[in-house]
Amino acid sequence: MLRLELDPATRRTLRRATKNRNIRVGGAIVAIFVLMGLLAPFISPYDPTQGNLRDSLLPPCRKYPFGTDFAGRDILSRVIWGARTSLIVSTVSVFIAVIAGVIVGGLSAYVGGWLDEVVTRIMDIMLSFPDILLALFVAAIVGPGLENVIVAVALYNFPQFVRIMRGSALQVKEMEYVEAAKAIGESNASIFVRYLLPNSLAPIVVHATLRTAASILTAAGLSFLGLGVQPPIPEWGQMMSDARTYLVTAPHVWVFPGIALFVTVLGFNLLGDGLNDVLNPRTEV
Amino acid sequence: MSDLARYVVRRILLAIPTLLGVSVIVFLMIHMLPGDPAQLLAPPEATIQEVEIIRRRLGLDKPLWEQYLIFMSNAMKGEFGKSLFTGHTVSELLWPAYLNTLTLSVLAMGFGLVIGVLMGIYAALRPNTVRDQAVTSLSLFGISMPVFWLGLILIEIFSVWLRILPSGGSGTPRHLILPSLTLGLVGAAYVGRATRASMLEVLSQEYVRTAKAYGLPDRLVIYVYALRNALIPVITVAGLIFGYMMAGAVLTETVFSFPGLGRLIVNAIFARDYPIVQAGILVVATTFVAINTAVDILYAFINPRIRLG
Amino acid sequence: MNAKTLALAAVVIIVVVAAAVLLLVPKQAPVEKRILKVAMGTDIVTLDPHDVPDNPSIYVIDNIYEGLVEYDDKLNIKPVLAERWEISPDGKVYTFYLRKGVKFQDGTPFNAEAVKANFDRLFNNKELANRNRLVPFIDRVEVVDEYTVRIVLKEPVATFLNLLCHPAGMMISPKAIKEGVDLKHNPVGTGPYKLKEWKPNTYIELEPNPNYWGGAPKLAGIKFLVVPEDEARVQMVESGDADVAIRVPAIDVQRLKQNPDLNVNVTRTIRIVYIGANMKSPRLQDKRMRQAISLAIDREAIVEKILHGVGRPAKSVIAEELIGFYDTGKLKYDPEKAKQLIKEAGAEGLELNLWTPKGRYPGDYEAAQAVAQYLKAIGLKVKLRVWEWGSYVAELLKKPEDASPERDLFLIGWAPSTGEYIGVFRPLFLSESIPKFNLWFYSNPKVDELIKKAEHAPRDKIVEYTKQIQEILLDDLPAIPIYNPGDVVVYRKGIKSLYYIPTEVILTKYAYFGSGG
């Protein structure tokens, strides 16, 4: 990485990145989200999992700025802690999907032949499971819970990264310098790490950012359907799902987690768009 | 033309192994689900032997491969068997739900296309101005919006405050408005982005500039030449979104208790009603693959270069 | 204008006038004969009373089929197809004198042979879901003469008539049984209504049975609409799109009570929701643990805040409405005592698993979270897990040796569909009921003996035994009773004789539209 930073082209990219408004705004939102997740134990006013039943469903007031939920828990504290849950689920699941996708997609493209054919077929099948249904099915099989949601969301992201990695690896494979490296007998592993990976990095970084946004939404969607993280662990999608019973009587229960979810996803999408502009100048006007 | 025909045939043939793969995976996944339909079907007091009798009656005692072959051979004939719980044929349950979701998606797509295309053009005509930024931000808002949250907001406004639209259920056209608006607004965001990008690209191209240079009126250039060309990639995006709407409407359907395909499948997964899950996912996947194939073919038809690749 | 158009115009005018007259006239009549529209949450499963596993199906079946006897809304026993009966002094022989002149909906006469044919069906067909509610107790059924039938029990059962009130005791046309009609979809009973159409996931429509022995039915039909969303059912009854809404959320009760067009009926049920305690779990072996958990829970607060007042705190392992109920006074809220017991048991800071389904019983998921908070407040740690029903049932019904080692506490509800105490004690607390509904793996020879005595005791002696059973169970606490949920039925003013049976069944067959509130 240090070697990369010395590269003048990279420096130019970095300079452009710091000037990009999408990156600035998106980055700021993401930073707040990450800080909220990391600092939750220090900044939340109450224990997010312990309420007083006698204080249930209070509207926002001085004691509870966002009000309380059905169990009398402080919604502000739950929104803050919810950031941590989303942070863990989205980053870990995208990370797993990226690693697995890079390995499978890269190998598939590099080795080619029947392996490539089989991988492509399987990815086609996985991608024709429409959107949330695959994650939902996996969640139903492994049961709810934080780890299982991560697995389900990772599996849902996985074919996307296989596709991207495979696509860019196919391009790079044909390049002269890779041919040359092969000719002078460089090992396959070395070619993979030195040429294939760095050249595929830009689209993967952009896509990973955008998929983080999608993963936060998917994880929240699973929780909304009752297949997500277990209560009383605070999770935004689940908080909204629980609130459906009190739609009329206590709208504050679903409004605040919704805002948090929306702004966070927006932040990642802005950041992803900005990175796309900077790293992928072709689409710049 | 024979080139195109060959391409079409190839695309359709390619879809078959994909769908077979889907059917195998769905089948295996269903049987990986914890829980036993025979147990759920039996009354609380049933003994273990009685549950076994029910299991045999449902054909669930046979080996997996045999169950799969039975299912597929029936599916080929268009018979998906019966619901394990109510004994109704799966078709009886599936097609009304499918039709509901189709209606919902078509309406939503209508909303999405109209709002999205107008927004995209509006933005692309004055790139990098305030109004372009407003549209771009708005569509980014739409993409980042959790559908179920949007649904709850619309319910709060239209059902709770204004009391003019039902918050859920189905049966009358009024029940379709909020769910299709919810899905459609998110669709509009994607369509808007695609329209803007493609419009910008077309407007910067040589022939548009030439047309303008020749003194053709701006409106004519924009709405006849540019738009026609700009809409080609939008169609692709719209096709993809439509596919996702057909399948990904589960959340919207749940918020509005809309009796669509997504909810039918989710409820069947919870109830372990295997035949419905199998048939449901297969139908969704077939629709999804069919739409994608159709979009690809359409694209090839409009843009012959693609067939070579 | 030619002759043809003229004729057409004339026809149109006549039709319009006729329609107007037809529309106006019935409005003046005091009793309207129209279709009763009932909005319920789920579709039915079957129309076969001997095989029915769920309540919504029973709502429909109750209009089509009848038994020898039935429950009224206070769980008293009423004669229906039997006019009267005699019980032998040893309590083993029940002689029923049947109603004469009753015909099934296919024209087959109802008589002693028909009764015998129905019991034969229960005896011979092992697949029928409900056969065990009656078959294990009956030795034989004898036809005495055309309108007299005798049921001989293996041993006396004090609540045998209660058992007969269950749909398992309903009478199906012997002709339909013999011909192997698909009774799941084509019911043939003696009741006031018969099936018109069952459109899956949409509605079930019944039409009057003109030959009903009790006189022509008072409604033009009954239509059960399947409306899963709670809010949608409420809106329908508010707007008049439905006449009755079943299972209305408790939170809407106050608002709906202010609507002058609606009756809001907050009813009682015989369901108890428990926190089950796995007696095999090493963390719950000590009786003081289970007692501490019971004392830690503020049942009043749960009823008030989570059930919104629709329901009552549980007082025992069975509901107050059941014969044999006895209040031991042991279910109290005393967190200080609970803390002390935890300390004595040396279990401070111990982590327990707590499982719950979601949406199966009113307030289940919310109550489990409240219980978790109460346990945390007395110094325990709780790991909550929400299950979806399919997996939950499968896990809970496992044999003790296969059960998850994580099973400690689990929320489960039970309502005996037979409406009597045997339907609670036998499946839930008898040793023989492991591995079935004795989900807590509770085995106590003393309780086994008492349950069997209570089953065969004469009616006036029942409480003697059930009191002892309840004393032991509320001391051992394999199942910690939490609450007794109520139910809310909302119907439009003008509907009369709509009954709610505490077995969680809404009885529509007597309903009619009258004038006034």
Contacts with A272 from chain B: Cβ below 8 Å: none
Nearest chain B residue to A247, by CA:
B156
In chain C, residues with a C-beta closer than 8 Å to the C-beta of A54 are: 301, 305
pTM summary value: 0.83
> A77: exposed, middle or buried (C-beta count within 10 Å: 0-12, 13-18, 19+)?
buried
More confident residue, A246 or B308: A246
For B32-80, how does the pLDDT look when each residue is reduced to its tens digit (9 = 90+)?
777 777 777 776 556 777 778 878 877 788 888 888 888 888 877 777 7
A258 has a chain C CB within 8 A of its CB:
no
pLDDT digits over C378-421, tens only? 999 999 988 877 778 878 888 888 888 999 999 999 998 888 89
* Confidence label for C32 from pLDDT (cuts 50, 70 and 90): low
- In this structure, chain C runs to a length of 517
Neighbours of B172 (CB within 10 A): 10
Distance in angstroms (rounded) separating the CA atoms of residues C353 and C246: 34
Which two tokens mark B232? 């080609």
Q: Is B257 left (phi over 0), alpha (psi -120 to 50) or beta?
A: left
Chain A to chain C Cβ contacts (< 8 Å): 58
Q: Supply the pLDDT for residue C123.
A: 94
Chain C residue with CA closest to B56: the answer is C127
Question: Is residue C206 within 8 Å of residue C62, measured between CB atoms?
Answer: no
Q: Does A227 touch chain C (CB under 8 A)?
A: yes
**pLDDT category, C173, cuts 50, 70, 90?**
very high
The pLDDT value given to residue B279 = 87
Select from B144, B289, B292 the Cβ nearest to the Cβ of A262: B144
Alpha helices (H) along B160-273: 174-203, 206-213, 218-220, 227-248, 250-255, 261-271
Q: Do A266 and B288 touch (CB under 8 A)?
A: no
pLDDT tier for residue C6 given thresholds of 50, 70 and 90:
low
- Tell me the average pLDDT of chain C: 90
More confident residue, B78 or C163: C163
Q: Which of A152-166, B278-292, C78-92, C120-134 is most confident?
A: C78-92
Check pLDDT > 50 for residue C1: no
Backbone angles phi, psi at C192, to 5 degrees: -70, -15
Max CA separation in chain B (angstroms): 87
Q: Could A72 and C305 be called an inter-chain contact, meaning their C-beta atoms sit closer than 8 Å?
A: yes
C211-220 mean pLDDT: 93
B83: which chain C residues are within 8 Å (Cβ-Cβ)? 200
Query: What residues form DSSP beta bridges with C512?
Result: C496
Question: What per-residue confidence (pLDDT) applies to A38?
Answer: 94
State the pLDDT at residue B15: 83
B160 touches chain C (CB under 8 A): no
Chain C, nearest residue to B84 by Cα:
C45
| Dist CA C219 CA C192 (whole Å) | 10
The ipTM, to two decimals, is: 0.86
> Please, what are the domains in chain A?
92-285 (1.10.3720.10)
Q: Does C394 touch chain B (CB under 8 A)?
A: yes
Q: If you count them, how many residues does chain A have? A: 285
Chains touching A, CB cut-off 8 Å, 3+ pairs: B, C
Task: Look at C386 and A50 and tell me if their CB atoms are within 8 Å.
Answer: no
Cis preceding-peptide flag for B275 (omega within 30 of 0): no
C67 - beta bridge partners?
C170
Chain C residues touching residue B47 (CB < 8 angstroms) = 132, 436
| Structure confidence at residue C242 as a pLDDT band (50, 70, 90) | very high
Check CB contact of B173 with chain C, cutoff 8 Å.
Answer: no
- Amino acid of residue B251: L
Distance CA B87, CA C45 (A): 8
Q: Does C397 touch chain B (CB under 8 A)?
A: yes
- Please name the chains neighbouring B, where neighbouring means 3+ C-beta pairs under 8 angstroms: A, C
**pLDDT for res A247:** 78
How many C-alpha atoms does B303 have within 13 Å on its Cβ side? 12
| pLDDT for position A16 | 81
d(CA A59, CA A69): 9
pLDDT in tens, C312-342: 999 999 999 898 999 999 999 999 999 999 9
Closest by CA to C248, choosing from C258, C261, C238, is C238
Q: What is the pLDDT of residues C477-500, one digit of tens each?
A: 999 999 999 999 999 999 999 999
Cross-chain residue pair B93–C201, CB shorter than 8 Å? yes
Contact B271 C390 (CB under 8 A): yes
Place of tokens 């939750």: A40
β-bridge pairing C138-145 and C148-153: antiparallel
CA-wise closest residue to B100 among B212, B293, B246: B246
pLDDT at C31: 53
Strand C409-414 to C351-357 pairing: parallel
Residues of C in contact with A248 (CB under 8 A): 231
Q: Which among C100, C127, A206 is positioned nearest to B49, based on CA atoms?
A: C127
What the block records as the tokens of A33 is 């989200």
Q: Out of B145, B244, B251, whose CB is closest to A262?
A: B145
Chain B nearest CA to A93, separation (Å): 19
- pLDDT at residue C356 above 80? yes
Segment C360-388 shows an average pLDDT of 92
Q: Closest CB to A246: pick one of C251, C384, C388.
A: C251
Contacts A138 to B, Cβ<8 Å: 29
Distance CA C173, CA C157 (A): 27
**pLDDT over 60 (residue C127):** yes
Name which of C182, C198, C229 to mutate to probe chain B: the one with the most chain B Cβ atoms within 10 A of its Cβ: C229
* Cβ–Cβ under 8 Å, residues C189 and C169: no
B22 touches chain A (CB under 8 A): yes
pLDDT band at B303 (very low <50, low <70, confident <90, very high): low
Give the closest-approach CA distance of C316 to chain B in angstroms.
21
B127 neighbourhood in chain A, CB within 8 Å: 285
Chain A residues within an 8 Å CB radius of B147 = 221
Q: Which amino acid is located at C37 in the chain?
A: K
- Provide mean pLDDT across the span B237-256: 82
Question: pLDDT tens-digit profile of B183-235?
Answer: 999 999 999 988 998 888 888 777 777 777 777 777 777 777 777 778 878 88
Of all residues in chain C, the percent with pLDDT exceeding 70 is 93
Count of CB pairs separated by less than 8 Å, A with B: 119
* Residue C373 in contact with partner chain A when CB distance is under 8 A: yes
pLDDT at C435 over 80: no
Which of C43, C127, C437 has its CB closest to that of B86? Answer: C43
> Do C379 and C339 contact (CB within 8 A), yes or no?
yes
pLDDT lower than 50: segments of chain A: 1-5, 283-285
Contact B250 A136 (CB under 8 A): yes
Three-class SS string for chain A? CHHHHHCHHHHHHHHHHHHCHHHHHHHHHHHHHHHHHHHHHHHCCCCCCCCCHHHCCCCCCCCCCCCECCCCCEHHHHHHHHHHHHHHHHHHHHHHHHHHHHHHHHHHHHHCHHHHHHHHHHHHHHHCCCCHHHHHHHHHHHCCCHHHHHHHHHHHHHHHHHHHHHHHHHHHHCCHHHHHHHHCCCCHHHHHHHHHHHHHHHHHHHHHHHHHHHHHHHHHHHHHCCCCCCCCCCCHHHHHHHHHHHCCCCCHHHHHHHHHHHHHHHHHHHHHHHHHHHHCHHHCC
